[in-house]
Amino acid sequence: MSSQLKKTQKPNRLWHLVVKNLKSMIRDKANLVWLIGYPILFIVLFRFAYGIEVFEIMGAGLLITGPVVIISTLASHFAEEKELGAIQRLITTPVSRHTILLSGLFSQLVIGAIQIVIILIFGTLVGMTFHPDANIFLILFIPFLITFTSLGFGLILASFIKTSSSAGGLAWFIILPLQFLGGAFVQEPLIDFLPTALAVNAMQSVMNLGSVSFDLVGINLIFITLWGIGGIILGIILFQRKTAIL
């Protein structure tokens, strides 16, 4: 009976922590505006600075810029939790480190999904176009997959930093190379195996060609997923070791 009770308590604890994290993120207006406002502002400025022709060519890459920013917000979230002693207090309760980490990841995924929808709406309003045969599910899913992958990078970074003030700045040493080298700001990716490069190529195939072939899209999605799984597993291992000695 007690084992069954523990099994039912774990999802409840996870759910309560996810809700708590979401409420905290919503209350932090500056962080929320940054997460959603940065990619929207960048898309709008890019559209009117370079014109509609360049904007249409670069549209696929621009849609990948937003999800990568979540590296900064996740790292800042866990750094702030460590800084305030919240993680240490939770560890002394029946809540496991896995539950703490998963709650942070799930809450960021929810915000990331909302961010993607808002970016697509704003992108369309300022002239972003899609192939008539473009798969809407993939247009939403590819940025979401990059959000998932970015969480791995954010978790790895969060395991090494202790203050939220340093998290935001250090995150850009990961964000900018992923954006620039991955082709978010240029016509062709400079390093093809980066998750952002794989995502940009997949988005270009779906948005510009209407293609959903496995060769053009499927393989890229598999490798992006592997990047995400590998990053999150590594991040969890590092984070658990670091918090174990706090």
d(CA 145, CA 126) in angstroms, rounded, equals 24
Strands (E), the chain: none
pLDDT tens sequence across 60-110: 888 888 889 889 888 887 777 777 666 666 555 666 677 777 888 888 898
pLDDT tens sequence across 91-104: 556 666 777 778 88
Containing structural domain, residue 134? 11-244
Phi, psi for 162 (deg, rounded to 5): -120, -15
Q: Is residue 4 part of a domain?
A: no
pLDDT tens sequence across 95-152: 667 777 788 888 889 888 988 998 898 888 888 888 888 899 999 999 999 999 999 9
Burial class (CB in 10 A: 0-12, 13-18, 19+), 235: buried
Q: Is residue 6 part of a domain?
A: no
Q: Is residue 77 part of a domain?
A: yes
Sign of dihedral through CA atoms 130, 134, 135, 138?
negative
Residue 42 in contact with residue 123, Cβ under 8 Å? no
Closest CA to 127 of 187, 64, 66, 54: 54
Residue 182 in contact with residue 199, Cβ under 8 Å? yes
Q: Is residue 156 part of a domain?
A: yes
**How many domains is the chain built from?**
1
Q: Is residue 5 part of a domain?
A: no
Q: What does pTM read for this prediction?
A: 0.85
